[in-house]
Amino acid sequence: MSFANLRQISVHYDENTVQNMLSMLKHAPIPSQAPIDAKAPWSLGMDYDYLLFLKQKFETEWKWERVEAEINSFNNFMVDYTTGEDSLQLHFVHQKSKRADAIPLLIIHGWPGTFLDFRKVIEPLTNPPSSDLPAFHVVAPSLPGYFMSTISRRDGWNLTDTAKLMNGLMTEWLGYKKYVGQGGDWGAIIMRIMSSLYADSMAAVHFNMFRSFLPDDTDKSKFSKIEKFVLARRDEFTSTGFGYNVIQTTKPFTIGLAIASSPLAILSYIGEKLYCWSDPDRVDPQDILDTVALYFLSGCFASSVVIYSQSSKQRTEVNLPPKDGLWPVKTRSFGFSSFPYEVGGSAKAPLEAYGNLAFYKEHEHGGHFPALDNAAEFVEDLREYFGANF
Amino acid sequence: MSFSNLQRISIHYDEAVVQNMIAMIKHAPFPSRAPIDAKEPWTLGIDYDYLRELKHKFETDWQWARLESEINRFDNHLVEYSTSEGDQLELHFIHQRSNRADAIPLILLHGWPGLFADFRKVIEPLVNPSSPEVPAFHVVVPSLPGFFKSTLPRREGWNLFDIAKLFNSLMTDLLGYKEYAGQGGDWGSMIARIMSNKYPESLTAVHFNMFIATPSGNLSELSESQLRLLQRSKHIGETGAGYRNIQKTKPFTIGIAIASSPLAILTYIGEKFHDWSDPARVDPQDTIDIAALYFLSGSFATSVVIYSQTPKDAHKIYDTIDLLNLQVKSKAFGFSAFPYEISVGLKDSIAPFGNLTFYKEHQGGGHFPALDSPNELIGDLREFFGKKLD
């Protein structure tokens, strides 16, 4: 495995490119009303009125310059990565703290997120308002196939390969012999693998998604309000929110190339997830538009769904009962933050079978992208957990 | 059900509209190579090279004028109708009358992602056979509600039983065919099955190229060809059912997304046309024609609603009526087994459902036999219906 050719970059898209996207959006066919009148909003997928609202906002208010400036307020890098059969280019943000005691933190997004999911938390984490609070050196990569990170051509690159890449990035390239990890969505699954394989480097790991195994006959009556809510969300996700997963796992090229062909298609397809997986009282439409723009402008949508076809086995493995022991959490401890609108959440007790659960906190607000819809409490949790467990 | 305002229509789209569609295809984002190098073609969804060729053909060879004149060779109609639930809808259908006095009225039912135009190669031979020895037919080909120019009610709950009632009324009330024959595949096969159960005194002979029946009996004693049908069905179920899940649970999301881009439609349905057809026989021009009709008619988003309007189990129509147990009560029941059909109809498994007097296996052909094996389908319909309605 080797890293080479590190370069700091600025992210930039031409005005023409951005205007072309908005023009495609404006001229895309969209029906004049919802296909039919859904009995309840969102019950048949993307809410038509909300889609119109997003589209309108995108066409009239939204500005790429703001997003570009925000991205470039961080230190963005590209590095070439080569190993045996694979070569790719990795994009990552590396924001160092001025504090000598800062904790190196690897924080990984999922789908349909991006590295920019962490835009609201990078600064508070690297620069806390008080010297009593932990500080962090934050490393926020784009997963292979997302944004500017390219993907291995090999049909067979899986999460173990990604985990190896990420651990190598931290320990070999950036020189962080000990670091902590945080993940949601694919990031959480990768953290399961890393916390199993690289516990000698990874001192602590935090999750906001953890689909712990729950036997069917579990007595849920004693669960807290948030635990019940979270488990109901999980069930709903499995029964009515899983279609994207099946099609992306089995036909990634079809859905990838189709949706990538139109900004309105991306807006509808991932907009539905960005909204429905978030706290409806907290979700910011601007975050949705920014994410959609990154997917379209970088042309990464088709490669972003490949992970489903390459890694479904490991995804299933991490969800097995802990006694089947495929990916135990071997770090000295782990932490979990329970945000109510998460779709792959957990009650507290089932987590304890996976490793040493040193931190568990329930929240009243926030969803699957807590760094976006409940940034303040997300930051607090990381400070509290990592501060005590690094 | 009451019909009014029956009109003969011509199908026409302006040159500007057609050119706009072609321009959208030309300018749609399309990568220079597949997202990754699939180990085998078609294992990760649509084959990139195949799609690139389809796209190229669409942009350069394909002419709307040819398709328009082909469709307008037939007698297209639009009729308004209202239901007892108060729906006010429009139905498009072809009604092609034979000159023969002994012609058999025959309704042909398409499915998804097909259209009425699936039958354009078989209508003329069926209506006008070259010999008086061979049965002739008055052919009726409706567009299912939500497809092409047939509208959908605004309300949720419209389902296959409603469509069956509509089509029976179309034949007996509007067109005056007190007894008629029917043929269906895909959704059309389920509608025909309901019609044969509810209206057997009208639909006196029914033919299927798809018939959902749980394989039963001694599966180890199956002939090689029957076994291949079973294996094919299993393979499709395991690798090709994602579209059904997402269309059932999030029809608005996927419908509006795909409808926004002709390249998205071409990709999404192009994969199905190839995967579900005989690869040695599937004609790319047929695929492009159907994609164009979906886009020009703006009906893609409504075409997928049907998946969401059957309850949680795709085969159950109401909780108390299981489609899998619906008997074929028509006097005569026939089935043509094409090897690339996606849903297996084993002879011993479907025979218990009615008076199966015709079961023919073919060496080639798939889920859209009227497109990829028109001569075989015509031969079967002549043989089966000609015998039965003497």
What is the ipTM score, two decimals?
Answer: 0.96
For position B217, what pLDDT does the model report?
A: 76
Q: Which one-letter amino acid corresponds to residue A332?
A: R
CB contact under 8 A, B39 and A156: yes
Which chain A residue's Cα is nearest to B153? A36
In sequence order, which residues have a C-beta less than 8 Å from that of residue A43 and are 6 or more positions away? Answer: none
Contacts with B48 from chain A: Cβ below 8 Å: 253, 257
d(CA A331, CA A102) in angstroms, rounded, equals 19
Measured on CA atoms in the order B115, B124, B102, B133, is the torsion positive or negative? negative
A262 with B245: Cβ contact below 8 A: no
A145 contacts in chain B (CB < 8 Å) = 35
Residue B318 has pLDDT above 80, yes or no: no
* Whether B249 and A240 lie within 8 Å, measured CB to CB: yes
Mean pLDDT of B300-311: 90
Given a cut of 80, whether residue A359 has pLDDT beyond it is: yes
How distant is the Cα of B216 from the closest Cα of chain A, in angstroms? 27
B175 or B315, greater pLDDT: B175
User: Which one of A239, A261, A268 makes the best mutation probe of the B interface by having the most chain B beta carbons within 10 Å?
Assistant: A261
Closest-CA residue of B relative to A157 is: B36
Rounded mean pLDDT of A351-379? 97
* Model confidence band, residue B221 (pLDDT cutoffs 50, 70, 90): confident
Dump the DSSP string for A314-367: HHHHHTS-GGG-SS---SS-EEEEE-TB-SS---HHHHTTTS-EEEEEE-SS-B
Q: Which residue has the tokens 């509608």?
A: B191
Q: A35, B153: Cβ pair inside 8 Å?
A: no
> Which among A29, A250, A254 is the nearest to B268, CB-wise?
A254
Which residue of A253, A297, A300 is the best one to mutate when testing the B interface, meaning the one whose CB has the most B CBs within 10 A? Answer: A253
Q: What is the DSSP letter of A341?
A: B
Q: Which residue of A has its CA nearest to B301?
A: A35
Above 50 in pLDDT, residue B278?
A: yes
pLDDT tens-digit readout, A39-62: 999 999 999 999 999 999 999 999
CB contacts < 8 A (A, B):
203
**Cα-only R_g, chain B:** 20
Residue A161 has pLDDT above 80, yes or no: yes
The stretch B95-113 carries a mean pLDDT of 97
In this prediction, residue A377 carries a pLDDT of: 98
Short-list B337, B282, B385, B309, CA closest to B146: B309
CB < 8 Å to A268, chain B:
252-253, 256-257, 260
Check pLDDT > 80 for residue B317.
Answer: no
Could you tell me if B107 and B75 are in contact, meaning their C-beta atoms sit under 8 angstroms apart?
Answer: no
Name the closest residue on chain B to residue A26, using Cα atoms: B260
Say if residues A366 and A339 touch (Cβ distance below 8 Å). Answer: yes
The candidate with the shortest Cα–Cα distance to A300, out of A69, A144, A74, is A144
Q: Which residue has the higher pLDDT, A320 or B196?
A: B196
Is B46 in Cβ contact with A247 (below 8 Å)?
no
Q: Taking a C-beta distance cutoff of 8 angstroms, is the pair B181, B207 a contact?
A: yes
Considering CB atoms only, which of B36, B39, B47 is closest to A306? B36
Report yes or no: B264 and B249 within 8 Å, Cβ to Cβ.
no
Give the distance from CA A306 to its chain's centroid. Answer: 15
Does the pLDDT of residue B389 top 80, yes or no?
Answer: no
Query: What average pLDDT does the structure give for chain B?
Result: 94
Across the interface, of B154, B242, B256, the residue whose CB is closest to A243 is: B242
When pLDDT is averaged across residues A92-107 and rounded to a whole number, the result is 98
Q: Check: CB of residue B345 under 8 Å from CB of residue B337.
A: yes
What is the least distance, in Å, from the CA of B178 to any CA of chain A?
33
Judge: B261–A262 Cβ closer than 8 Å, yes or no: yes
Structure confidence at residue B316 (pLDDT): 52
Could you tell me the pLDDT band of residue B321, with boundaries at 50, 70 and 90?
low
**Residue A318 above 50 pLDDT?**
yes
- Measure in Å the smallest separation between the Cα of B268 and chain A Cα atoms: 6
Rounded average pLDDT over A154-159: 97
Question: What are B352-378's pLDDT values in tens digits?
Answer: 999 999 999 999 999 999 999 999 999
Task: Write down the pLDDT at residue B390.
Answer: 45
pLDDT at B314: 47
Min distance B321 CA to chain A CA atoms (Å): 22
- Asked whether residue B112 carries a pLDDT value surpassing 60, the answer given is yes
Q: State how far the Cα of A35 lies from the Cα of A381, in Å rounded to an integer.
A: 43
Whether the per-residue pLDDT at B387 is higher than 90: the answer is no
**How far is the C-alpha of B30 from the C-alpha of B25, rounded, in Å?**
9
Mean pLDDT of the B206-222 span: 88
Q: Quote the pLDDT of residue B146.
A: 98
What is residue B214's predicted lDDT score, i.e. its pLDDT? 84
Instruction: Say whether pLDDT at A386 is over 80.
Output: yes
Q: Does the pLDDT of residue B179 top 80, yes or no?
A: yes
**How far off is chain A from B146, nearest CA to CA, in Å?**
9
> Model confidence at B320, in pLDDT bands (50, 70, 90)?
low
pLDDT at B42 over 70: yes
The verdict on a CB contact (< 8 Å) between A38 and B246 is no
Q: What is the H or E stretch that residue A101 is in?
A: none
- Sign of the torsion formed by the C-alpha atoms of B99, B102, B104 and B105: positive
Residue percentage of chain B with pLDDT more than 90 = 89
**pTM of the complete model:** 0.97
Q: Is the pLDDT of residue B310 over 80?
A: no
Q: Name the percent of chain A lying above pLDDT 70.
A: 100
Contact A243 B261 (CB under 8 A): no
Contact B253 A155 (CB under 8 A): no
**How does pLDDT run across A200-241, given as a tens digit for each residue?**
999 999 999 999 999 888 999 999 999 999 999 999 999 999
The whole-chain average pLDDT of chain A stands at 97
pLDDT-derived band at A122, boundaries 50, 70, 90? very high
Contact A265 B36 (CB under 8 A): no
**Lookup result for tokens 């070439």:** A80
Q: Is the pLDDT of residue A363 over 70?
A: yes
One-letter amino acid identity for B142? P
Rounded Cα distance between B365 and A276, Å, is 42
